[in-house]
Amino acid sequence: MQHTKRHALAWRYLALLFASSAFLSLPNEPSQANQTPPSSLEAIMERLYSGRFWIGPNGEPLVTVGIMDNQDKIEFSCKHGCRARLYRRNEPPQETGLEAYHSYTIRPLRARPAWLRHWLVAFATPYDDTARFNALEKQWTQRGFGIHPLITGGVFALQGHLFDTRQRLGSLAVFAKREHATQRATQLEDQLHLPIRLHEEIARRPQIRMLLHGGGRLEADDLIEIHPRRGTIRVERVEFGRGDRWHRFVPRQFLGPLWFTADRHGKLALVQKISLDAFLRGVLRAEMPPSAPLEALKAQAVCARNEVLAKIATRHRADPFLFCAHTHCQVYTGNQESDTRILRAIQSTRGLVLTLPNGQLSDAPFSAVSGGHTEHNEFVWSNLPHPALRGKLDLRQPSSLFEHGIAPFNLQRWLLEPPDAYCHGKTPAIRKKFRWIRTFSPEQLDKLVHQRYPVGHITDLIPEKRGISGRVYALRIVGSQRTLRLHGELKIRRLLGNLSSSLFLVQKHTGSNGQPTSWKLIGGGWGHGVGLCQYGAIGRANDGQSFRQILQHYFTHTRLLKVY
């Protein structure tokens, strides 16, 4: 009897693995982080868009990262020389050597953009929670909408542990053009007072003819691979700080291979294939100060590793990479030499991930400064409540006034007379992120809003819904022409001049005619506030807490598991 049960479980396990579109590669597939054996162009392009990752010879995942996109040219050089592999449709790839210290440029000659589908998504549930999906589908049907189910994510195994990142998406409609989908989503949000998000799928991959120039003219279709003979590849004008006030372009160093291909627009994209821990070195350098306490760096390393593995095949489904190098995924700054403490933090937590009681990977997001209270995930991303991502106080001493969260009755005191939080910080720079003030003239506020929404002259800003940390996730904007209800923490922050967070109190100052003369937003925190508070982790580590204790506080009911 036991023998039969074991065989049944084994077959269920294998069936589940092979049913997944994101099933990971076997060890005999291309595995070296710096080597890619020749293969057909179609096979490589299919793999880049598949949502799958590779497994290296030591069992470590190898992932693809989008370094650059939407480029008209990309310039690079190799200190020790490079080897280039240029692909042509229906022909074997051509290989050529590239000189050391020589600058090379890749440009598009002609291209065909991708065809995309833009779905409006009303809700998402875990793949195996059919009852929840059916209940939500019934609610939307009663509102008069038909639901089209979609599946995103995948299934993979690491060291005998099976992980399922799949979700069922309840979609309302599909559009060929993003602007039409965005317009309809805004209309529905305004009508229903509910968040609607976009999900993109690729219907037809882009194509491109590229020119490699710098000592000759070599042409390629869809893909050029660059392998350094030793060391790294220097790439010029890599974008940093996309969407932030410190946005700029800088040179970066990257391990090989680098893949040049087409992005969705038919312009150039640069993709790096890299081992997960090498990727984390570039993430930690950008996401947490190298001077942070070692235990805080360890906690950050575990979170960053989780955010890769838990998001496999759920992001960038219309792009030739799994993750981007920006805040949308995780900020990644390349492979310059890392601080020894960053290397130690990654090595000492090698393969460790946070899992839920059911054995699945936990999401492990992070932001810089929570402001003293972290946030429930559903109030930031409009998804179902996540058992590990429960907002909670992050104070050195308990506080009865705030023990049930930040609400309108205690919000002003929370912002103006905050208790001692772990993320309060010891420097003026961090304190300015812990509590802040933004002031707008009527003209400034009108201009910001009118860039996206023509509502007329703004007469009121009314936060309608707040999360447990006090963050606004539904804002009513009253204009002389119309009233707009805006849903989504990030949408609100971006619309109001890239606010540090959506935790704010609105003070409207009016003149004798009753019209606004200025707007003051008194706020706290820097970032979305869900999961790990990075400066809170630093404060806890400075107080002697281990990375395990830090993670236990920020991620409810999770445990650490070694998967490689």
> Is the link from the previous residue into 290 a cis peptide, with omega within 30 of 0?
no
> What would the two tokens of residue 168 be?
């069922």
- Residue at token pair 């991303």: 381
CB 290 within 8 A of CB 341: yes
How many Cβ atoms are within 10 Å of 260's Cβ, its own excluded? 25
DSSP 38-70: ---HHHHHHHHTTT--EE-TTS-EEEEEEEEEE
Q: CA–CA separation, 528 vs 355, rounded Å?
A: 22
Q: Is the dihedral of CA 152, 158, 38, 262 positive or negative?
A: positive
CB 303 within 8 A of CB 532: yes
Inform me whether the pLDDT recorded for 9 exceeds 60. Answer: no
> What would the two tokens of residue 544 be?
């002697």
Query: For the chain, what are the domain ranges?
Result: 30-99+210-350, 115-204, 365-530
Percentage of the chain beyond pLDDT 90 is 85
CB 371 within 8 A of CB 434: yes
Q: Give mean pLDDT, residues 444-451.
A: 95
CATH superfamily of 115-204: Sporulation related repeat (3.30.70.1070)
Inform me whether the pLDDT recorded for 222 exceeds 60. Answer: yes
What pLDDT, on a 0 to 100 scale, did the predictor assign at position 337? 77
First-to-last C-alpha distance (Å) of the chain: 33
pTM of the model: 0.89
Single out the residue of 388, 423, 365, 395 nearest to residue 555, CA to CA: 388
Give residue 242's Cα distance to chain centre. 13
Q: Give mean pLDDT, residues 355-364.
A: 96
DSSP letter for 214, please: S
- Residue at token pair 């539904």: 474
Inform me whether the pLDDT recorded for 346 exceeds 90. Answer: yes
Segment 441-450 long-range contacts (CB within 8 Å, at least 24 positions apart): 441/518, 441/519, 442/515, 442/516, 442/517, 442/518, 442/519, 444/497, 445/496, 445/516, 445/519, 448/495, 448/496, 448/497, 449/477, 449/479, 449/484, 449/495
50-54, 73-77, 116-120, 441-445: the lowest-pLDDT one: 50-54
DSSP letter for 395, please: B
Which tens digits make up the pLDDT trace of 161-176? 999 999 999 999 999 9
Report which residue type is found at 148: H
Q: Are strands 161-164 and 155-158 parallel, antiparallel or unpaired?
A: antiparallel
Strand partners, 204: 115
In 302-341, beta strands by DSSP E: 323-324
> What would the two tokens of residue 484 be?
């707009």
DSSP letter for 330, please: -
pLDDT: which is higher, 15 or 232: 232
At residue 39 the predicted structure's pLDDT band, cuts being 50, 70 and 90, is low
Percentage of the chain beyond pLDDT 70 is 93
DSSP letter for 160, please: T
In 143-275, beta strands by DSSP E: 148-152, 155-158, 161-164, 167-175, 197-204, 207-213, 217-221, 224-228, 233-240, 248-254, 258-262, 268-275
Average pLDDT value over all residues in the chain: 91
At residue 36 the predicted structure's pLDDT band, cuts being 50, 70 and 90, is very low
Inform me whether the pLDDT recorded for 22 exceeds 90. Answer: no
Which tens digits make up the pLDDT trace of 395-436? 999 999 999 999 999 999 999 999 999 999 888 989 999 999
**Phi and psi torsions of 546, nearest 5°:** -85, 165
DSSP letter for 412, please: H
Which tens digits make up the pLDDT trace of 243-273? 666 788 899 999 989 999 999 999 999 999 9
Q: Three-state SS string across 70-121, please?
A: EECCEEEEECCCEEEEEEECCEEEEEEEECCCCCEEEEEEEEECCEEEEEEE
Strand partners, 393: 373
Please, is 219 exposed, middle or buried when counting C-beta atoms within 10 Å of its C-beta (0-12, 13-18, 19+)? middle
Which tens digits make up the pLDDT trace of 529-547? 999 999 999 999 999 999 9
Please report, for residues 436, 471, 498, the alpha-carbon distance to residue 532 in angstroms, rounded to integers and kept in the order given: 21, 16, 21
* 3-class state of residue 261 by DSSP: strand
Q: CA–CA separation, 255 vs 63, rounded Å?
A: 13
What pLDDT, on a 0 to 100 scale, did the predictor assign at position 240? 82
> What would the two tokens of residue 317 be?
């489904």
At residue 13 the predicted structure's pLDDT band, cuts being 50, 70 and 90, is very low
Give residue 433's Cα distance to chain centre. 21
| Rg over CA atoms, the chain | 25
